[in-house]
Amino acid sequence: MTSSQTVSAASAERSTNTDQRLLEIYDTTLRDGSQGEGVNFSLADKLALSKLLDWLGVHYIEGGWPGSNPKDEAYFREVRSLGLKHAKISAFGSTRHAKNPADGDPNLRKLVDSGADVICIFGKTWDLHVREALRVSLDDNLAMIGTSVAYLAKATGRPVFYDAEHFFDGFKANPGYALDTVAAAHAAGAQRLVLCDTNGGSLPDQVVAAVAAVRARLPSAILGIHVHNDGGLAVANTLAAVAAGCDQIQGTINGIGERCGNVDLCAVIANAELKLGWRCLPEGRLVRLTEASRAVWERANMVGPNNQPFVGRSAFAHKGGIHVSAVQRNALTYEHVAPETIGNERRVLVSELSGRSSVQAKLADRYPALKEDAKMRAVLDEVMGKENRGWSFESAESSFELIAARQAGVAPEPFVLHHYRVSAHGGDEARQDLVEATVKITVAGGNGPELRVAEGHGPVDALWHALRSALVPRHPHLEALHLMDYKVRVVDSADGTAARVRTLVESHLPAADGSVLVITTIGVNEDIIAASWEALTEAVNFALLRRPTV
């Protein structure tokens, strides 16, 4: 089946399926998303994300703009070898230059030569842009649109989609001309007319009115929607456009993109499938949404917001004791959808706001002794007391579990500290000398005190190596325990140099089965070294609590 036949078959399926509305997802993460500040995908990233998006089940992947840069040129050569099973690759570009005939325009030729399954070009809708940016007449712009679409359709024999740039601003300024531009693309053979809120400033009712006008003018056209989030309404505008008659949704995973970003496909897809009953992805793929979101953040070398709807780490995190108690009885009380439907998970956070229900929900099954009122009260009292003095257990769940394990009487005591020392150098000139740390401990079950000296890149690294070297002879599997992240924050900044500091440590302990125990611990002290030592020793204690042997 050719690409053109595939698009036609999809259209037929939408028109004949009366039980569930089927929508097309056109992903532009690799092209429009890469225009976001701080986003820079390598060729390897783009190819890996293409496989990810195909695995997720999007219908179209916009790979880039052939001819705009060497990386996009290489992408269209190499993507053909990926063997994608579901998604079609789209090449993006613009209408011909005003001075060139379509068959003599080098940019259009690059689109033809890309070998992409689909070509998507944009053209001007807003008469302001036609006069000020293109500096051509309104009629010349219509000719540029029509001849470009017709040439690409004939030269490739493949579907041509048309993005009507600034459509909603153009419709507000000159509705008749805006409609003429999409009509010109439709008459020339564009198989999709995509209405773009390029500046991202439209309101839902304005989007609905404009889509209705296009639908009335071109009743047989298949419409798409492409919006930006400058007004914070991208998801609302997209869903409103679909309700008004658009069948294709263009956007990016996580909403990355220029300025305030594009519409977040994660939120759009989840709302469409779970709230409105529309089908966006193949059956069974919605549960992959959270994994896809986090993979894109990782490839972008960015940390996504915890409160990102549906797929963020905090999207189903419950902190208040009343909330946790209610969710334990019936998740609908504080969750608008089930987290597992989009591959996310429920998390119970522990803080001074927590109650008995929070601790029970998190740890009572692992530590049955906590079902005793006195032990439960002791856990809560310690948590509240420490949080009042600067601890924060939301980002240090391992330290919280150690509190519970100690109250339950099962926490390990792997060593007794005698002392530690750190020796560093200072001076006017920057030095590359390693810091030296000495640790003296008595390891439980050992033959007496262990005195270890180690060097490291900084005092915390040196202490970490010295402590671990003393423990490894008794606990060999701790050789694989690695410090992955270390953060410091001043708790009482008004106290100046006497302020307490909070250190957060993340450590990883791999297992033979390939799993990784992620350990998050905390330390608080006026002395940054003492706070760090507390967080490091908590990491060791937790590792031995969960994996006491190899």
Domain of 36: which CATH number?
A: 3.20.20.70
d(CA 259, CA 228): 9
For residue 399, the model assigns a pLDDT of 93
165 plus 282 within the same structural domain: yes
- Whether 501 contacts 526, CB under 8 Å: yes
**Residue 201 scores a pLDDT above 70:** yes
For residue 525, the model assigns a pLDDT of 93
Query: Pairing relation of β-strands 246-251 and 223-227?
Result: parallel
d(CA 449, CA 439): 10
Q: Rounded to 5 degrees, what are φ and ψ at 248?
A: -115, 135
For residue 448, the model assigns a pLDDT of 85
The pLDDT of 334-359, averaged and rounded, is 76
Does residue 309 belong to any structural domain of this protein? no
At a CB cut-off of 8 Å and minimum separation 6, what does 179 contact?
171, 213, 214, 217
**Residue 66 scores a pLDDT above 70:** yes
51 plus 131 within the same structural domain: yes
**Residue 484 scores a pLDDT above 60:** yes
The Cβ-side half-sphere exposure at 209, using a 13 Å CA radius, reads 10
360 plus 445 within the same structural domain: no
d(CA 283, CA 301): 30
- Whether 210 contacts 156, CB under 8 Å: no
Does residue 536 belong to any structural domain of this protein? yes
For residue 434, the model assigns a pLDDT of 82
**Residue 360 scores a pLDDT above 80:** no
**Residue 14 scores a pLDDT above 60:** no
Domain boundary (362, 386, 407) is at: 407
At a CB cut-off of 8 Å and minimum separation 6, what does 494 contact?
none
237 plus 336 within the same structural domain: no
- Whether 69 contacts 43, CB under 8 Å: no
d(CA 337, CA 332): 7
Helix (H) or strand (E) holding 482: strand 482-490
Closest alpha carbon to 248 in 232, 224, 270: 224
CA distances to 161, 181, 391, 475 from 496, in Å: 61, 64, 18, 41
196 plus 278 within the same structural domain: yes
If one counts the domains in the chain, the total is 3
**CATH number of 473's domain:** 3.30.160.270
Does residue 283 belong to any structural domain of this protein? yes
Domain boundary (407, 433, 466) is at: 407
Report percent pLDDT > 70 for the chain.
89
379 plus 244 within the same structural domain: no
Does residue 357 belong to any structural domain of this protein? yes
Q: Is the dihedral of CA 486, 491, 494, 500 positive or negative?
A: negative
108 plus 256 within the same structural domain: yes
Alpha-helical (H) ranges within 275-396 are 289-299, 321-329, 356-359, 373-388
For residue 426, the model assigns a pLDDT of 62
For residue 497, the model assigns a pLDDT of 56
270 plus 351 within the same structural domain: no
Q: Any bridge partners for residue 250, and if so which?
A: 26, 226
98 plus 163 within the same structural domain: yes
d(CA 292, CA 172): 37
Place of tokens 């649109």: 145
pLDDT band at 369 (very low <50, low <70, confident <90, very high): confident
d(CA 108, CA 93): 7
d(CA 64, CA 69): 9
For 549, the token pair is: 């042997």
d(CA 473, CA 443): 10
For 97, the token pair is: 């230059």
444 plus 520 within the same structural domain: yes
Alpha-helical (H) ranges within 222-352 are 234-244, 265-274, 289-299, 321-329
412: left (phi over 0), alpha (psi -120 to 50) or beta: beta
Does residue 307 belong to any structural domain of this protein? no
Q: Which domain holds residue 115?
A: 3-299
**Residue 371 scores a pLDDT above 90:** no
Does residue 310 belong to any structural domain of this protein? no
Does residue 304 belong to any structural domain of this protein? no
At a CB cut-off of 8 Å and minimum separation 6, what does 354 contact?
319, 320, 321, 324, 380, 383
For residue 515, the model assigns a pLDDT of 86
Does residue 306 belong to any structural domain of this protein? no
255: left (phi over 0), alpha (psi -120 to 50) or beta: left
252 plus 162 within the same structural domain: yes
pLDDT band at 1 (very low <50, low <70, confident <90, very high): very low
181 plus 95 within the same structural domain: yes
> Across all residues in the chain, what is the average pLDDT?
89
**Residue 116 scores a pLDDT above 80:** yes
d(CA 175, CA 217): 11
Report percent pLDDT > 90 for the chain.
73
For 440, the token pair is: 């003296």
Domain boundary (250, 268, 299) is at: 299
